């Protein structure tokens, strides 16, 4: 999950004094009544206040994986077909 991360330092928008550094930590979340842990998950952590922001790109990838519909085929809507004259669904047009 770390292929698009740039290891630059960012200012902390929490304390305004520290800098956010890229670190890899264990991410915890609940999926229904199950606790899910992901090790080596990228997060930006402030060196002063400790504020933690998980990397948005990695969060999007994780959300796709944890989506309950992941791996299921999607239902495709059938394309709209114009009604043919004389078919059951055709409407008579008043003259």
Q: Are 44 and 58 in contact (CB under 8 A)?
A: no
User: Helices in 39-92 by DSSP H: which ranges?
Assistant: 56-66
**Is residue 86 very low, low, confident or very high in pLDDT (cuts 50, 70, 90)?**
low
3 part of a folded domain: no
Q: 72 or 35: which carries more pLDDT confidence?
A: 35
In a domain, 15, yes or no: yes
Domain for residue 95, yes or no?
no
Beta bridge partners of 64: none
Please, which residues have CB within 8 angstroms of residue 11's CB and are 6 or more apart in sequence?
18, 19, 20
Predicted local confidence at residue 27, as pLDDT? 95
pTM of the model: 0.61
Find the domain containing 29 and state its range: 10-66
Residue 89 in domain: no
Q: Is position 76 within any domain?
A: no
**Three-class SS of residue 56?**
helix
Q: Is 29 in contact with 65 (CB distance < 8 Å)?
A: no
On whether residue 49 sits in a domain, the answer given is yes
* Domains identified in the chain, total number: 1
Domain presence at residue 48: yes
Position 61 scores a pLDDT of: 93
Confidence (pLDDT) at 2 = 47
pLDDT tens by residue, 19-59: 999 999 999 998 889 999 999 999 999 999 999 999 999 99
Q: Is residue 54 part of a domain?
A: yes
CATH number of the domain residue 48 falls in: 3.10.20.860
């Amino acid at each position: 999950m770390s292929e698009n991360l740039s290891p630059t330092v960012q200012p902390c928008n929490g304390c305004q004094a520290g800098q956010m550094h890229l670190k890899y930590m264990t991410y915890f979340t609940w999926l229904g009544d199950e606790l899910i842990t992901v090790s080596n998950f990228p997060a930006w952590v402030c060196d002063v206040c400790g504020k933690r922001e998980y990397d948005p790109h990695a969060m999007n990838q994780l959300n796709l994986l944890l989506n309950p519909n992941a791996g299921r085929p999607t239902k495709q809507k059938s394309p709209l077909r114009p009604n043919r004259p004389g078919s059951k669904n055709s409407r008579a047009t008043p003259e």
